[in-house]
Structure 1
Amino acid sequence: MNRLCKSLVVLEVVAAGLMGVATGASAAEALKPDANKGQAIATSVCVACHGADGNSASAAFPKLAGQHEQYLLKELRDFKVKPGEKAAVRQNPVMAGIVASLSDQDMANVAAYFASQAPKGGAARDAATVALGQKIYRGGIADKGVPACASCHGPTGQGIPVQFPRVSGQWADYTHAQLTAFEQGTRKNDVMQPIASRLTDTEMKAVADYMAGLH
């Protein structure tokens, strides 16, 4: 497959993802989320892993503070088994148990709460791979058909509201774990799957570490 064809495939996948997220965004707006009610859920149900304000203390759990509301709601919904389906789109036994007790309104409320919180920044840890991570994030890898991460997540990792998540300051280990899951096919609920499949582990670690320091 030549370079042009690779790029076209990536664009088609991204376009499909945009359509799905846009539908979720419309549903989120219809729910009229209440961040105050979401705070009650966050401080009683989510606090142990994600922190009371969404700034998790461990790289085993993602930072949710400042993440786009519609994106958070989409991910919460993906952990639930949809009517007529045998399994959830996104597999995680812990999260599956948590969302099972939450209504769609509950999830919208907690997504609104975490989105309203101030995110704490992070920092790149490996000076030896910063240049590689920056190159991939800002320019992609043309020979592999890997688009620049900045084209979807923005120059400072803030993401594009509704469509693409904030990655700035996210734990590098968590980001690397998710890229690996996409690459191995154990996570399939995002347009990242075909992109991650073209990255080596070294490349994934480098760009994940670089994103941790974006601000």
Structure 2
Amino acid sequence: MKGIMAMFAVAGLLVTASASAETATKADPAKAQQIVTQVCAACHGADGNSTSGANPKLAGQHAEYITKQLHDFKSGDRKSAVMSGMVAALTPEDMLNLGAYFSEKTIKPGAAKDQELVAQGQKIFKGGNAASGVPACAACHGPAGAGIPVQFPRLGSQHAEYVLTQLKLFRSGERANDGAKMMRVIAAKMTDQEMKAAAEYISGLH
């Protein structure tokens, strides 16, 4: 557990340093409107509340996190055939503005569908699994899934399908833009059932 928390601290410092460099240029969410309308809205919604479980809700997400993900898609640090094409023409300023734009939107509360899974997921989210070394999700993402600006993304009310997909990608190593490998380490210790339950609980968390 101490080793995992040490990685959290290192990753937080790295993300903070990156975010500090970005904020040297002040974001202007109004300048992102045209890009949102022409590029982002089809999948994520004009207000960042996507209606498809495969596409993440961006509304209310921390600006720094969104900007970092866009950079990672463009650099190839985060793999996605769809997103790599979407960000190809974006400038660093565009990415900064998009982060600010979506962070100002209000996320629509989600609702979990399977109450049995919710009960299982709540245990993982709040307490982890000491036997297998899985830490509580709330330790980094907060008890209500609000996350910690700059360091850890907001999870509350995110689509269960999307959360589950990302956990599996972290476990397989196909997604590897998690700083000090913290999510890959955690996901590697989770069972399919734990992932599914945590994702279901998160989808109704707000």
- Once the two structures are TM-superposed, the CA of residue 170 in structure 1 deviates from its matched residue by 0.2
User: Secondary structure in 1 aligned to 2:158?
Assistant: coil
Distance in 2 (CA, whole Å) between partners of 1:9 and 1:179 is 20
Distance in 1 (CA, whole Å) between partners of 2:37 and 2:136 is 36
Q: Which runs of 4+ in 1 moved over 3 A?
A: none
What TM-score results when the alignment is normalised by the length of structure 2?
A: 0.96
- Once the two structures are TM-superposed, the CA of residue 98 in structure 1 deviates from its matched residue by 1.3
What residue in structure 1 maps to residue 40 of structure 2? 46
- The letter of the residue matching 1:57 is T
Distance in 1 (CA, whole Å) between partners of 2:18 and 2:110 is 29
- Once the two structures are TM-superposed, the CA of residue 8 in structure 1 deviates from its matched residue by 2.0
What residue in structure 2 maps to residue 128 of structure 1? 116
Does structure 2 retain, via aligned residues, the 8 Å contact 1:10–1:145?
Answer: no
Question: Within the alignment, does 1:168 sit opposite 2:186 as a pair?
Answer: no
- Once the two structures are TM-superposed, the CA of residue 14 in structure 1 deviates from its matched residue by 1.1
Does structure 2 retain, via aligned residues, the 8 Å contact 1:169–1:211?
Answer: yes
How many residues are paired up? 203
Match of 2:186 among 187, 195, 207: 195
CA RMSD, Structure 1 to Structure 2 (Å): 0.9
- Once the two structures are TM-superposed, the CA of residue 29 in structure 1 deviates from its matched residue by 1.2
Between the aligned residues of both structures, percent identity stands at 53
- The letter of the residue matching 2:128 is G
Distance in 1 (CA, whole Å) between partners of 2:86 and 2:14 is 23
Does structure 2 retain, via aligned residues, the 8 Å contact 1:157–1:211?
Answer: yes
What TM-score results when the alignment is normalised by the length of structure 1?
A: 0.92
Question: Within the alignment, does 1:210 sit opposite 2:201 as a pair?
Answer: yes
Match of 2:170 among 182, 188, 195: 182
Question: Within the alignment, does 1:20 sit opposite 2:9 as a pair?
Answer: no
Deviations 1:69-93 (A, max 9, x none): 0011111111122xxxxxx110001
Structure 2 segments unaligned to the other structure (5+ residues): none
Does structure 2 retain, via aligned residues, the 8 Å contact 1:53–1:65?
Answer: yes
- Once the two structures are TM-superposed, the CA of residue 12 in structure 1 deviates from its matched residue by 2.4
- The letter of the residue matching 1:120 is K
Distance in 2 (CA, whole Å) between partners of 1:125 and 1:92 is 28
Distance in 1 (CA, whole Å) between partners of 2:85 and 2:184 is 25
User: Secondary structure in 1 aligned to 2:177?
Assistant: coil
Structure 1 segments unaligned to the other structure (5+ residues): 1-6, 82-87
